Structure 1
Amino acid sequence: MTHDGNKTIVKISEEATYQLIQKWVDQAASGFMSALMSTKLHDKRLKPRHISQHNNCTKLASSVTEHARCVVIILNRLDDQRRKIRKYKKLKFRRTRFRRRFRRDIMDDLKEDEEFVIQQRDKYELKGKKEMVSPFSNIAKHLTNLVREKKNKEKEPKKRWQTVINEIKEELDRIKKKKKDREEFKKIFSKYSRTMKMLGLDPKQAFEKAGMASLGEEIADSGNTTEPMSEEETALKKPLMMIRDGVKLGMMLAGKNVSNFDERKISLMSPQFMSVLPDEQANDTVNLLSPSVFALHEKGSELDQMLSLSKAMRFLSENGHDEWMNLILEASGVTEAVEKMRIDEKKQEMESFRKHFSNEKGQPMYFTKQNVSEMYGEYETSKIDSMESLHKSMSAAQMHEMNTTGFAIMTPFQISQFYGPGSPYNDSYAYKNYRNIRRNDIPHMLENNIHRMAREEQAFKVARRKDVTLSPLLFTWIVLAPATASQPIILSPLVFSPLILSPSALGPLILSPWIFSPLILSPRVLAPIILAPTIFSPIILSPLALSPLILSPAVADPLILSPFVFTPFILSPLVMVPLILNPFCLSPLLGVPNSLSPLILSPFVLSPFVLSPPFVNAFVLSPYVLSPIVLSDGLLFTAVLSPSFLSSL
């Protein structure tokens, strides 16, 4: 692991790189199956033992195939239940049809015996709506709208008070779980820290070498729990202990239970006004003259329930009660407090993440858009831009689907933007297939794929090298991307897609025209260009070796300071393709008519011109050796200061 001043570079072998990527792919597949099962496991048709068996199965799974087999067990069980229900409904329909026929026969018999009389009345009494809006409800609703208008929240969606309370509960549960997990994390690493100390090693130094100095300090500090108390803390502790001892003595004299008293908290003459949530640890709290007054819930002791604001408003209609509770929470600022709590929590998480995963210079030890651009160039950065654009284009329904199920279905527009031409993820096969899939067919297809994975008929394997086929590159800059430039490009035109600082090896270009796509500082080795016309695509400071040009006409493609060797031009007419300061060797021109393509300061050796007549062309200051011009009588050809040796003109 090295630092170059801007980024941290971890050097691993190519094989380890593929193994790491395969691990990420496996985790993605398992994560998707877990997301799919998160909704399936809530099905009421499953018994608790089935869910427990599935959880145990997934814990023991050591591969994607084993995980898929665990999922298939649940899917098959649900399919069996679905078939049973369908069979029951079919039987029920037959019984219902028989009953209707029997009832119809009885009615026909009655019609023959009796005559029905239709009754008419002057007026009818209709039941009122249960949810009829009361005047109190209208007042509360109007006041709520005024409060929202004052807060400039007219365009934001309204939240019911029950939703706000549930969000607070979920946020508190999440914070508690996070705190518990962190304590468990510290506890586990503290064991390693103690072991290292026993072996005479410094745990802080070990964490620093791993790039997690702040985490090492935090774990080391957490073990130092025997620090002496200060004078202020000692002075504050004495009166508090006297109060606790007095309360404990009073409870003992009153005959009340004082077990675990030292672990319980005391609330003495501390009433709570308009509390949002009930005390979850009421049994562990000693309440003395500390009622909950005007609480926004109806839980707690009998006195708390009697003084509850929510219960006091039950004299209103059900809707009126809800509207007044909405007003109280909106006016008190509880809804904003919940949102602020979430934002602050996210900021703390991001700060903690940056702190623990940054080196001593404060540089991130994870991928960011900036260091990806520095390490891999604009082409890889464009992939991050595509992901950001996809995320911004997601609708509220897709975000809700993502948050509830773990995945969302892309719209045709998103598929076009992500897989279509012009995208770095361009894939013509995926683009064509995904557009034609109906939304209702996707769940069945996903389950079918999981069945195939369980049977080992399908697997997600990382391709060692992928050809770019039927994937046009439009307005895609390939900068500092040798891996991309070295891929075979087949039937994939390049339009306004320059290759800059991207060397290519074993990357042929076949049936893929180049249009306005210059090659700059990008040498090519063993990268032939076959049946790939090039237009306005100059080659600058890009040497070529063993890269023949075959059946590939070129127009307005100057070669400047780009020497080439073993690079013959075969049946590839050239128009306005000057060679400037461009020596070449062992690169004959065979059947290559050329026009307006002078050689300027470009000496060449062992490179004959055969059946390659020049038209309005010239050699300028370009000596050549052992390079005869055979059967290449042209028109208006001029040689200026271009001596030859063992050659012909």
Structure 2
Amino acid sequence: MQHWTDQAFSGLMAAVATRRLNLANKYNKKKHEKCAGKAMDVKSHAKCLVELENDVVSSRWLKRKKYFDQKKFNASKHNNTIQILHRTKRSLKIKNAKSYELKSHFDSPFALITKHLTDTVKILKKKDKLSKWQDIIARIKNETALMKKRKQVEKLQRKRIGVFQKAKNLSYSGSREIRRKPPRKSGQLGNFASMEKYIEDGELREMYEQKAANMTEEEELMMVPVDIIRKAVKLGLSLGGHNTSEFAKKTVKLISPRFMSLLPDDEELKKDELDILSPSLFSLHDSGTDIEKNTSFASLLGRGMSSQDSQNFLDLLVEATGVAEAVEDAEQKLVDAQRKKDDAMGRGPDGQPIYFTKENITERFPSEAKKIEIFEELDKIYTVEQLKDMNQTGYSVLTPKQMQLVYGKQSPFNNPKLLGVYNNMTRAEIDRAIHSTIKNVAEEKLKFEVRQKDIVLSPIVATPLINSPEITSQPLILSPAVLVPLIQSPAVFGAVIISPWLFVPVILSPRLLSPVILTPFVFAPLILSPLALVPVILSPGIFNPFVLTPMALCPFILSPQVMTPLILTPFVLTPLIGTPLALSPLVLSPFVLSPQVLSPQYVTAFILSPYALSPAIESNGAMVTVFGSPSWLS
């Protein structure tokens, strides 16, 4: 409703602008087109039209002034004599000083670039200084620990309730030991079964065990390429006489060099890595292995980035990728989600229908159907002049008879006050009133706002949504969705809060500004559905492949994922914050400016997925295979 209201008023403003553009010069026409193209709301559009009106008036005055100035010049030209203009010499002031401070020549080009980029980020984010990346990591650790405690309390409560429920079914004759059935470990996944002991995150480990016990043949096939690569490497090492007893947990890097690395590899972690044709070259530090040291900028050029330069660049990288803002945003969204949860629990479904036709309106709301009939009647009595106006400019003014039809006593839009005002106004006065209204909108003296109806406590089951952006753009709160395919249904401001998704494929349905909060999603593949500004917060997922689904500004925060591969899915500014992954390979999915913070990966692979400016900070995993995925500044 808000979109339709804004669109209607913007359409009126565009029609008014069409008339004014006929009086504007070429420069002002292009200026208005550029302004209107960037306008994203009614207020901005109104400002563009007000500016056009001012430009038209100024242009007309300038034309008149130029005309009269030219006449005056021609009249005085014959009476004036040529005068010689004397140019005064500018005085030169020489500053004397005992010493002069010159710009330090020890600053490396990279350090200078970092300084300029830092100044730019400060201006864009209106900050005096950037936070240290170590402080942000500590903050994330604290938030992660707090969330783990909350989950443990919730888990304990569920367990306690489960014990009471089971007690009802136990016989008095005696208690029986309940043995947990071990998970099924067969097929390709059997090679990865022992990885559970290496996964530190409790929630991810449970998700991994659950998925490992119920893998389908198709899902197991996804791990075949990774298994083949690892077996080939293991065979080659065995033939070369190397010890492969601890090969299962090692991280294998094959043809994936690191260029200009920001941080050296941890010596302890290097013991569990196998680097095959994957050296670290031209590092910006002078630590690490022998090759890393010998090929660093410090060794090759005699000087390089100091420890302070490295600190500054990492601070810049973490700030520019929005890690700090993502944590703050997550905290605020959690507060808002809880508030909405409390509000929603006190109400039932509002029952407001989303999509209407004349037939279902007539059936359910007979009084509303009268409004449709009024406009159908109005369409039949437009005059030739009105049709001509609407074809040329897009709008016209109603005649007194038409206004009586729409706003008279027999109309559901009955408004005698409006009739009394506009029946006595001329066309010119009405045009001036329209311009006055547009100006008030531009100055925020007048607003067109319609309260959006959220979908609350209304589960959606087995209801395909095809070509339904008006539904998918509604916030979904405490409303689980099961077997609900979304096809060609883009969403804007379609937040999903505490509304689990099960078997909800998203196909050709881009999503914008639609955060996912406290919403587990299972078997929800995203195919050809670009995402932008869609943070995923406290929303674990299992088997949610992303295929041909580019992402921008979509941080994953405290949202563990299992069996969530990214295939042909490039992404940018999409950091992983406290989000461990398992069985989630990246295939042909390059990424930029997407650091991994406290987000270890297990039993996964990077295949032909180069990346840049995306360091892994305290994200140590196990059994990771990297093939043909070089990195830069990471």
User: Could you state the TM-score of these two structures normalised by the residue count of structure 1?
Assistant: 0.31
> Which protein shows a greater Rg?
1
Higher-RCO chain (CA-CA 8 Å, sequence separation at least 6):
2
